[in-house]
Amino acid sequence: MIDIKFLRENPDIVKENIKKKFQDEKLPLVDEVIDLDVKVRNAKQEGDDLRASRNKLSKQIGALMGQGKKEEAEEVKKQVAENAARLAELEKLEEELNEKIKKDMMVIPNIIDPSVPIGKDDSENVEVTKYGDPFVPDFEIPYHTDIMEKLGGIDLDAARRVAGNGFYYLIGDVARIHSAVISYARDFMINRGFTYCVPPFMIRSAVVDGVMSFAEMDAMMYKIEGEDLYLIGTSEHSMIGKYIDTIIPEDTLPHTLTSYSPCFRKEKGAHGIEERGIYRIHQFEKQEMIVVCKPEDSMMWFNKLWQNTVDLFRSMDIPVRTLECCSGDLADLKVKSFDVEAWSPRQKKYFEVGSCSNLGDAQARRLRIRIKGENGNYFAHTLNNTVAAPPRMLIALFENNLNEDGSIRIPEVLRPYMGGKDIIPVK
């Protein structure tokens, strides 16, 4: 959510930003907000005038009563009562207008960074850099669930009977390497100076509204029936929510946190749930990183965050590349975003394994996360990035470490978490 003062003073910039995101249907909202804002300020001014008049008239009543002029005092009292009724109307009107403004402002997209490439959708995202040499072995690589079944490590049929599509049972060494990846990702980030945190896995609607757009919420979040609680789709939601309604001393920044959580997602829309696979599923686990910092530091932290993911994957010898998301592929709250993609030898192409986002002060403005500085309070900037999400991480790990007999080489950095084992054998 952008600053209404900025919109009021720069409507053309806000409209141009909407056009860059190919959301022309939202253009009328800018003029609507400006019109509503004028009405709010007029109502507020009239209310302030009535309050000042009330104080003045109250003094007159006291003076008239002291002079024994009861009839005149009663007339002034009637005027006070009329003013009070009008003031109540204005206060109600102001509340209704502010609610309409908030509703519109929650839909108007954040101002994107000038460096963001302009494009309609993810097909126009721009490759930034590649790390490692993509390799395709001289033997056929099976589909990832076939690899895992040969290892005796997955049961989709049982999961389907228990919970439906989009769930899985991981078994034996496959389950163990899943946990190993999470543990390694946790320690990797701790070694980079981040503080480890396990957050609540459910959040209230006030936090949901603060961390994401309505469209994202509808497509992602599971609601707990009868309660004001949602299952988190990523620990970023809960971690940023940790700061709701807080004022952070400037000298304690930045706050750099890495968090573990299960994640729950509807996965509604065009992508849908795979009937056989673990690339897009309803439930998974993830290690996340978030940063709360001063505005002038957010781009520096943005570059550090996506590099952390690259370094993590490269420590396991998995080739990766970074893509910059174009304007049309950016969620409305985002200022700038990179996707990290891992190499798939089976598909002979890269696929997304993580996303790094700078949200500017959009989440902080919605959640009222402020910094206490020498010259007053101001809104923080928030960032988030995936460290590792094992379902997709496992696909990349298995495909890039597959032996011809179907066994899996365990990357050296994961072996301490696997009891020293260097291979997952075929069952």
Q: Which one of 105, 132, 158 terminates a domain?
A: 105
Number of domains in the chain: 2
In a domain, 111, yes or no: no
In a domain, 44, yes or no: yes
Structural domain span for residue 277: 122-424
Cα 393 versus chain centre, distance: 20
Say how far apart CA 156 and CA 277 lie, in whole Å.
8
| Domain shared by 232 and 88, yes or no | no
In a domain, 112, yes or no: no
The CATH number of residue 51's host domain is 1.10.287.40
Q: Which one of 72, 105, 138 terminates a domain?
A: 105
In a domain, 115, yes or no: no
* Amino acid identity for residue 147 in this structure: I
Please list the rounded mean pLDDT of every run of 10 residues in the chain (427 residues): 92 97 97 95 90 78 74 77 86 93 93 97 96 95 96 95 93 97 98 97 94 77 94 94 97 97 80 70 94 98 97 97 97 96 96 96 96 95 96 95 97 97 96
Say how far apart CA 232 and CA 381 lie, in whole Å.
21
Six-digit token pair at 18? 């909407």
- Mapping DSSP onto H, E and C, the string for the chain reads CCCHHHHHHCHHHHHHHHHHCCCHHHHHHHHHHHHHHHHHHHHHHHHHHHHHHHHHHHHHHHHHHHCCCHHHHHHHHHHHHHHHHHHHHHHHHHHHHHHHHHHHHCCCCCCCCCCCCCCCCHHHCEEEEEECCCCCCCCCCCCHHHHHHHCCCEEHHHHHHHHCCCCCEECHHHHHHHHHHHHHHHHHHHCCCCEEECCCCEECHHHHHHHCCHHHHHHHCEECCCCCCEECCCHHHHHHHCCCCCEEEHHHCCEEEEEEEEEECCCCCCCCCCCCCCCCCCEEEEEEEEEEECHHHHHHHHHHHHHHHHHHHHCCCCCEEEEECCHHHCCCCCCEEEEEEEEECCCCEEEEEEEEEECCCHHHHHHCCEEEECCEEEECEEEEEEEECHHHHHHHHHHHCECCCCCEECCHHHHHHHCCCCEECCC
| Domain shared by 96 and 244, yes or no | no
In a domain, 50, yes or no: yes
Strand partners, 283: 264
Residue with the two structure tokens 């989440």: 363
In a domain, 232, yes or no: yes
| Domain shared by 202 and 331, yes or no | yes
In a domain, 175, yes or no: yes
pTM for the whole structure: 0.89
Edge-first strand order for the sheet with 230-231 is: 202-203, 230-231, 222-223
pLDDT value at position 73?
Answer: 74
| Domain shared by 130 and 97, yes or no | no
| Domain shared by 274 and 356, yes or no | yes
Say how far apart CA 100 and CA 120 lie, in whole Å.
29
| Domain shared by 270 and 338, yes or no | yes
| Domain shared by 151 and 83, yes or no | no
Q: Which one of 76, 105, 134 terminates a domain?
A: 105
pLDDT value at position 269?
Answer: 54
